[in-house]
Structure 1
Amino acid sequence: MFEAPAPATVDRMLAAQQHAADQFGQRATGRRVWGYRARTLSGAAGPHWLRLVCAEGGTLWNGPSTSRTLPAAVPRPDLFRIRDWTTDGYAYRAELYALAPDPMVSPRPVLDEDPGLPETWWKEMTAALDALADVPPPADREAVREEYLRRVIPQFTGHQVEDVTWSTTHGDLHYGNVTRGPHILDWEGWGRAPYGYDAATLYLYALLTPATAARIRTELAPVLDRPEARTGLLTVAAQILQAQDRIDFYAEIADPVREHLARL
């Protein structure tokens, strides 16, 4: 999803991936999927999916393992096994998943064409978001901090924040993290965020294709039409505008996001 890092990092992560595959009795095959700043490296391993994380501790480290407590109504691949180790000053975690039976909606986080998702997909996604929102927001997992959103929303959107309705969210629900099943992937950042945050991500990340975005806005109306979803949408918009100078796909959607904010 992101570009490969410097050769030394590639070599180090590939060696760690091979070690993980050996520990699980699997063989890493297929294309490599790099995460942001090469913190993760994923790919098929036999009949499974192998995800390697290079970081230490914190909510991102434990996100996938703790997400196993979420309701079965939230569709996601099973996480079978976990291995942790440290070598040469780097801490690694390897996670072995069931391989999702269907392809990702998009190879990129944002949509630049209509993916042609059927109405049933949107009904299932809305049901999954409802099931997730019914989970009491965890006290120990924050997808978005309150002090952060109260700072960036006025700074980058020109809007003010009043009361915030908190709910449990995936935290990174873009089109490279959902399949045509749908199955929702990559649970490292799940936790508490403003209500509607995930639905707003799906909507704003589709603004490059206005007709598709309009349809998504209609499909997700049960979430986005609720007044408490406004802060979730403003939070996603502010994050996009804040990061547009360092992340290419945010730069691509920044102008459509500004146009949308002007209509609020």
Structure 2
Amino acid sequence: MTLSASTTRAVDLRVEPVDEVLDRVGRSLQTCLARDTVVRKRRSIGARTDRGTWVRIERRGLDKIGVQGWNGTECAARLDGIAQPAWRGCLVWRDADEPVMWRADETELLPGPPIGTAVLTEDPKLPDEWWQAFSSSVDALSAQDTGRVATPDTVAITQALVTESIHSAFSGDFDTTVEQWVPAHADLNWANMTAPTFCLFDWEDWGIAPRGLDSASLWGSSLAVPALADRVRQERRHDFESRDGKLMTLFVCAKILGPGAHPEDPRQEPARRAAEQIVAELQTG
């Protein structure tokens, strides 16, 4: 039987009691999780261990665990040429009371702090060396092979989703067919990268996606800082200049401008301008 989304209780791990979960993970991995290092997010918890590693714990409903599983960090460990924390091992169990599963992945510590929140409002002023390492890793990722399908926001990205998302937000007679599908991180934002040493982490959603998804996602996370958004476009211009890259820019703009958008989001106006230009190009091209 397929579980519907309504069968899984909505939980925000930023406010949910998690001590029992942390204790269970520590016992199973034979380590102690430092409570003063705990980082809470909506669907995951992270903490440092007493052996100098990091553990990320995620709670996910069974309805959100598809055929490919939810072992993104484990599968990413085999990727070459990408700056990421080395994977050490994992623990997975099914909740005894609810239709959810828990997963804890242990990795090396990050080489530096995350750059910021998912959406930045100030320029992090990253050096050229950082941008070179960033672009090299994104290029290396797109050259890999995988049977995984990217799941941004835990939803598998398909041609139908791309078409529906774009045409629900933007009118016009233009084709939304994706030509090139390549591996992508699928959650590329400023909260999942480190500085001053570049490192890309949180690989839960990676897989095949339209070319340019990662570049467009990071650009969308940068729109409140025009110079930063311009730098992203400059560094990844071969993505943005491609037809698929333009479609992915519209895909990201649709999320910023869609029904759930915050009216005071400073990214809305630059997203609207960019979308209007791209729609015009696609209609004439």
Q: What TM-score results when the alignment is normalised by the length of structure 2?
A: 0.80
Percent identity among equivalent residues? Answer: 24
Query: Letter of the aligned partner of 2:39 in structure 1?
Result: V
Residue equivalent to 1:40: 44
Matched, 1:83 2:87: no
**Contact 1:110–1:249 (Cα < 8 Å) also in 2:** no
Where does the alignment leave 5 or more consecutive residues of structure 1 unmatched? none
**Contact 2:149–2:209 (Cα < 8 Å) also in 1:** no
Query: Letter of the aligned partner of 1:45 in structure 2?
Result: T
Deviation at 1:199, TM superposition (A): 0.8
Where does the alignment leave 5 or more consecutive residues of structure 2 unmatched? 1-10, 152-156, 279-285
Change (3 A) 1:221 1:140: closer
Residue equivalent to 2:132: 123
Matched, 1:93 2:98: no
For 1:111 and 1:145, the matched residues in 2 are separated by 28
Query: Letter of the aligned partner of 2:169 in structure 1?
Result: F
For 2:243 and 2:91, the matched residues in 1 are separated by 43
Residue equivalent to 1:188: 204
Query: Letter of the aligned partner of 1:42 in structure 2?
Result: G
**Contact 1:244–1:254 (Cα < 8 Å) also in 2:** no
For 2:142 and 2:187, the matched residues in 1 are separated by 15
For 1:201 and 1:32, the matched residues in 2 are separated by 27
Query: Letter of the aligned partner of 1:257 in structure 2?
Result: A
82-91 vs 198-207, which moves further: 82-91
Matched, 1:10 2:16: yes
Structure having the larger proportion of residues in helix: 1
Rg comparison, structure with higher value: 2
For 1:6 and 1:235, the matched residues in 2 are separated by 28
Matched, 1:169 2:184: yes
Change (3 A) 1:250 1:155: farther
How many residues were matched structurally? Answer: 252
Change (3 A) 1:161 1:232: same
For 1:204 and 1:19, the matched residues in 2 are separated by 38
Residue equivalent to 1:61: 70
Residue equivalent to 1:74: 82
For 2:13 and 2:118, the matched residues in 1 are separated by 22
Q: What TM-score results when the alignment is normalised by the length of structure 1?
A: 0.86
For 1:127 and 1:251, the matched residues in 2 are separated by 31
Q: Deviations over 1:46-83 (max 9, x none)?
A: 21111111124334622112222222x11111110111
Query: Letter of the aligned partner of 1:17 in structure 2?
Result: L
For 1:111 and 1:99, the matched residues in 2 are separated by 23
For 1:152 and 1:119, the matched residues in 2 are separated by 34
State which of 195, 200, 204 in structure 1 corresponds to 2:216. 200
For 1:51 and 1:6, the matched residues in 2 are separated by 12
What value does the CA root-mean-square deviation take over the aligned residues? Answer: 2.4
